[in-house]
Amino acid sequence: MKLGTAIAEILKREGVEWIAGYPVNHMLEHAAAADIRPVIVRQERIGLHMADAQSRVTSGRKPGVFVMQHGPGAENAMGGVAQCFAESVPVLVMPMGYPRRLAHVEPNFNSVAAMRSFTKSAEPITLAAEVPHILRRAFSRLRNGRGGPCLVEIPSDMWNEEVPEPLDYRPVPAARYAPDPQDVARAARMLAEAERPVIYAGTGVHWARAWPQLRELAELLAAPVTSSLGGKSSFPEDHPLALGSGGLAVQATVPHFLKHADLILGIGCSFTTTNFGIAMPAGKKIIQATLEPDHLGKDIPIELGLVGDAALTLDLLLAELRDRIRERRDPAAVAAEIQAQREPWLAKWSAKRDSDAAPLNPYRVMRDLWRTVDVDNTVITHDAGSPRDQLSPFWVSRTPLSYLGWGKTTQLGYGLGLAMGAKLAAPDKLCINVWGDAAIGFTGMDFETAVRERIPIMSVLLNNFSMAIELKVHHHVGQQVLRADRPERRRRRRRRRARRLGDGNDRTDRHRPRLRRLRRLRRRRLAGQTDQCRPALDRQRRIRRHPGAEHRRRRRQWRHRGLGGRSALAETRPQLLPRHGRDRRRRRLRVRYLGDQQRRDRRRRDQLPRHRRAGHRRRRRRRWRRRIRGRQHHRQDAERYLLRRARRQRQRRRQRRAGRGDQHGQPDHVERGRRRQ
């Protein structure tokens, strides 16, 4: 069994259904052959973000996989890998590597060496027979403990190596671990005795799927619950005990309750100090429950640490607490206090959220979005910048993993990949990403991936023509941006630019007045009020009088525009030529774009002696056909046409051969050679 086939088989056994990738990496071919869907992205980072979402939405049960080329592909993927690392997301990353003899020679990029510091594990394949062991190690790390990207580099000279059969690989089991029972008992005592406990839920609750336990604990203690951005949606935010999520922008409820808490229980969280998380007030008594022992007391001092899976930890805590608290505590007082904080806060924001002013402000957009979509069957995420803060405090998420948040670092453009990956992982959900104009500048081209791969997502772009969130930091730059962007200035600038380009109107409505005028003229002409629209009428008359001349004139015109003359296509494939309004306009743009090349071609052709012009024309047609093939718009037509042509040519060749009596399918030149003998 070839190396790639063996890896694909292992992925299949591990339940991988699709992999994201960017060529060249032969894993894409091997995966497709093993019925694993390859999803080709436009750049590596997005592929990693998609794999990231696959892992998040399945709580790591089916980790995402991303493959890319050695050298530039691996270099360009580093951002996405670093993002997974910062967010502790388990993703299998399989770059191709330089051939083994060059893997450690400068300046070749060695993924294992380069990415070791921000992956959970990084290992090259150096022996084909070791593949099952290497992948077992990788999957074991992906499924156990705190998540993170695991990298397996496949040297590009190994694809043809044989992995011994039968392939000895069994899917890796996931093991959970729980905290020390004595610590759990102590934590339960502290919680039972606390008068104002607050629960802070981190992403660990999602990874452990500890949602029911979290709710039960909150209800048992009548304790208010907030979360990190990553932990948002682990507790229903329309629950009377929900404070809303933490983050950079938070509801007034969150700081109020944290400030007055006498005990904070952090569950599935690292308490990392970050701009994107709420800071715990100093001097508080804190219990930290986390999967990662290295995270205990990492950024803030804690009273007690519980190391283990969030679901197991909560199960144990609940069992202990039920002995101490017989009945659920009455949540009325806490709920009333939450409302007393939330209502004035909401009232303060309602001026923006309910504003009808045009253009609509982002808060209003988010409000309407929440009211419009089926919130419980939605997975929403956002990019860095203002969209995050305009969404997170107001979006009331009610079902687990309906909100993909992040809390340590986020590269602009992350949200698009997350939404696409989430859609592949949960096809029944509506997947939305909300981003700003700076964010779309990073990964916007991958919209094409969503279209090509048929991944229907919703993308909400909040365009404020600036990096609004950075305006306070970059005051002078920001001011310039704002000044240039005042609407009347913008319009005047555009008009000036348009006039310079020879058009009287600005960009947005360039075609409209012309169309309107033409339509009006046509109406009047039909009503006999005018005989304007001369050019069209004249043309009609000319055609009627001298059809041949008009035909030649048009041919000249097409040639002049560099379309290879009517004969090239118009006669054979008239549907490939533009006919009406939008098509023709598009073509005109294309012609302008291609004009220089065409003109250069023609000049070159004219310099050739006459007998060589045919070859030139043939080459040009070939190029033209290639161009057509690349155009999505006509691709199917063109492909069908080319296929049919190729078939015809084959047929003709076969007939020619048959005519010459060649029954054995020998190549032409052999036959010809024989004949000449």
Ligand X SMILES: Cc1ncc(C[n+]2csc(CCOP(=O)(O)OP(=O)(O)O)c2C)c(N)n1
Contact footprint for ligand X (CB under 6 A): 383-387, 410-412, 436-439, 462, 464, 466-470
Q: Residue 669 has which token pair? A: 């030149």
Compute and round to an integer the Cα radius of gyration of the chain.
32
Taking the complex as a whole, how short is the minimal distance between the CB of residue 465 and Mg ion, in angstroms?
A: 7
Residue 378 sits at φ, ψ, to 5 deg, of -125, 145
Q: Could you tell me if 49 and 58 are in contact, meaning their C-beta atoms sit under 8 angstroms apart?
A: no
Decide the pairing of beta strands 378-382 and 430-436: parallel
Taking the complex as a whole, how short is the minimal distance between the CB of residue 246 and ligand X, in angstroms?
A: 18
Q: Find which of Mg ion, ligand X, none residue 439 binds, CB within 5 to 8 Å per kind.
A: ligand X
Distances, alpha carbon 659 to alpha carbons 60, 645, 655, 656, 662, in Å: 65, 21, 6, 5, 8
Q: Which residues from 460-519 bind Mg ion, rule CB under 5 A? A: 464, 468
Q: What is d(CA 164, CA 129) in angstroms, rounded to the nearest whole number?
A: 6
- x/- mask, Mg ion, residues 334-363, rule CB under 5 A, reads ------------------------------
Identity of the residue, 211 or 406, whose beta carbon is nearer to ligand X in the bound complex: 406
Taking the complex as a whole, how short is the minimal distance between the CB of residue 466 and Mg ion, in angstroms?
A: 5
Taking the complex as a whole, how short is the minimal distance between the CB of residue 390 and ligand X, in angstroms?
A: 8
Which of 401, 354, 346, 409 has the alpha carbon at shortest distance from 84?
409
Q: Find which of ligand X, Mg ion, none residue 93 binds, CB within 5 to 8 Å per kind.
A: none
- Residues 363, 366, 371, 376: is their CA dihedral positive or negative? negative
Q: What is d(CA 291, CA 307) in angstroms, rounded to the nearest whole number?
A: 5
Using CB positions, name the residue nearest to Mg ion: 436
Q: What is d(CA 250, CA 245) in angstroms, rounded to the nearest whole number?
A: 7
Taking the complex as a whole, how short is the minimal distance between the CB of residue 52 and ligand X, in angstroms?
A: 15
Taking the complex as a whole, how short is the minimal distance between the CB of residue 469 and Mg ion, in angstroms?
A: 8
Could you tell me the maximum CA-CA distance found in the chain, to the nearest angstrom? 106
Which of 80, 47, 79, 82 has the alpha carbon at shortest distance from 65?
47
Angle at 141 between CA 136 and CA 146, to 5 degrees: 165
Identity of the residue, 437 or 671, whose beta carbon is nearer to ligand X in the bound complex: 437
Q: What is d(CA 675, CA 529) in angstroms, rounded to the nearest whole number?
A: 76
Identity of the residue, 268 or 413, whose beta carbon is nearer to ligand X in the bound complex: 413
Q: What is d(CA 436, CA 280) in angstroms, rounded to the nearest whole number?
A: 29
Identity of the residue, 226 or 464, whose beta carbon is nearer to Mg ion in the bound complex: 464
Q: Find which of ligand X, Mg ion, none residue 316 binds, CB within 5 to 8 Å per kind.
A: none
Identity of the residue, 86 or 131, whose beta carbon is nearer to ligand X in the bound complex: 86
Identity of the residue, 161 or 470, whose beta carbon is nearer to ligand X in the bound complex: 470
Q: Find which of Mg ion, ligand X, none residue 253 binds, CB within 5 to 8 Å per kind.
A: none
Identity of the residue, 292 or 437, whose beta carbon is nearer to Mg ion in the bound complex: 437
Q: Residue 430 has which token pair? A: 């509506």
Q: What is the DSSP string of 560-594?
A: HTTS-HHHHHTTT-GGGS--SHHHHHHHHHHHHHH
Q: Find which of Mg ion, ligand X, none residue 469 binds, CB within 5 to 8 Å per kind.
A: ligand X
Q: What is d(CA 147, CA 131) in angstroms, rounded to the nearest whole number?
A: 22
Q: What is d(CA 233, CA 582) in angstroms, rounded to the nearest whole number?
A: 45
Taking the complex as a whole, how short is the minimal distance between the CB of residue 461 and ligand X, in angstroms?
A: 9
Identity of the residue, 185 or 482, whose beta carbon is nearer to ligand X in the bound complex: 482
Q: Find which of Mg ion, ligand X, none residue 411 binds, CB within 5 to 8 Å per kind.
A: ligand X
Decide the pairing of beta strands 286-290 and 263-267: parallel
Q: Which residues from 403-462 bind Mg ion, rule CB under 5 A? A: 436-437
Q: Find which of Mg ion, ligand X, none residue 410 binds, CB within 5 to 8 Å per kind.
A: ligand X
The H-assigned helical ranges of 105-180 are: 111-115, 131-143
Identity of the residue, 63 or 436, whose beta carbon is nearer to Mg ion in the bound complex: 436
Q: Find which of ligand X, Mg ion, none residue 54 binds, CB within 5 to 8 Å per kind.
A: none
How many residues belong to the site for Mg ion (CB under 5 A)? 4
Sheet containing 403-404, strands listed edge to edge, beginning at the edge strand earlier in sequence = 403-404, 378-382, 430-436, 458-462
The H-assigned helical ranges of 237-284 are: 253-259
Q: Which residues from 368-397 bind Mg ion, rule CB under 5 A? A: none
Q: What is d(CA 470, CA 474) in angstroms, rounded to the nearest whole number?
A: 6
Taking the complex as a whole, how short is the minimal distance between the CB of residue 361 and Mg ion, in angstroms?
A: 13
Identity of the residue, 288 or 381, whose beta carbon is nearer to ligand X in the bound complex: 381
For residue 377, what is the DSSP state? G
Using CB positions, name the residue nearest to ligand X: 436
Taking the complex as a whole, how short is the minimal distance between the CB of residue 262 and ligand X, in angstroms?
A: 36
Taking the complex as a whole, how short is the minimal distance between the CB of residue 418 and ligand X, in angstroms?
A: 14
Q: Could you tell me if 159 and 2 are in contact, meaning their C-beta atoms sit under 8 angstroms apart?
A: yes
Give me the residue label for tokens 């909400």: 460
How far the first Cα of the chain sits from its last, in Å, is 48
Taking the complex as a whole, how short is the minimal distance between the CB of residue 468 and ligand X, in angstroms?
A: 3
Identity of the residue, 463 or 567, whose beta carbon is nearer to Mg ion in the bound complex: 463
Identity of the residue, 204 or 436, whose beta carbon is nearer to ligand X in the bound complex: 436
Q: What is d(CA 57, CA 89) in angstroms, rounded to the nearest whole number?
A: 11
Identity of the residue, 128 or 458, whose beta carbon is nearer to ligand X in the bound complex: 458
Burial class (CB in 10 A: 0-12, 13-18, 19+), 593: exposed
Q: Find which of ligand X, Mg ion, none residue 17 binds, CB within 5 to 8 Å per kind.
A: none
Taking the complex as a whole, how short is the minimal distance between the CB of residue 241 and ligand X, in angstroms?
A: 32
Q: Find which of ligand X, Mg ion, none residue 244 binds, CB within 5 to 8 Å per kind.
A: none
Q: Find which of Mg ion, ligand X, none residue 397 binds, CB within 5 to 8 Å per kind.
A: none
Which of 260, 256, 259, 223 has the alpha carbon at shortest distance from 334?
223
Identity of the residue, 230 or 387, whose beta carbon is nearer to ligand X in the bound complex: 387
Taking the complex as a whole, how short is the minimal distance between the CB of residue 239 and Mg ion, in angstroms?
A: 33
671: helix, coil or strand? helix
Taking the complex as a whole, how short is the minimal distance between the CB of residue 390 and Mg ion, in angstroms?
A: 11
Q: Find which of Mg ion, ligand X, none residue 46 binds, CB within 5 to 8 Å per kind.
A: none
Q: Could you tell me if 425 and 401 are in contact, meaning their C-beta atoms sit under 8 angstroms apart?
A: no
Q: Find which of Mg ion, ligand X, none residue 419 binds, CB within 5 to 8 Å per kind.
A: none
Q: Find which of Mg ion, ligand X, none residue 671 binds, CB within 5 to 8 Å per kind.
A: none
What are the residues binding Mg ion (CB under 5 A)? 436-437, 464, 468
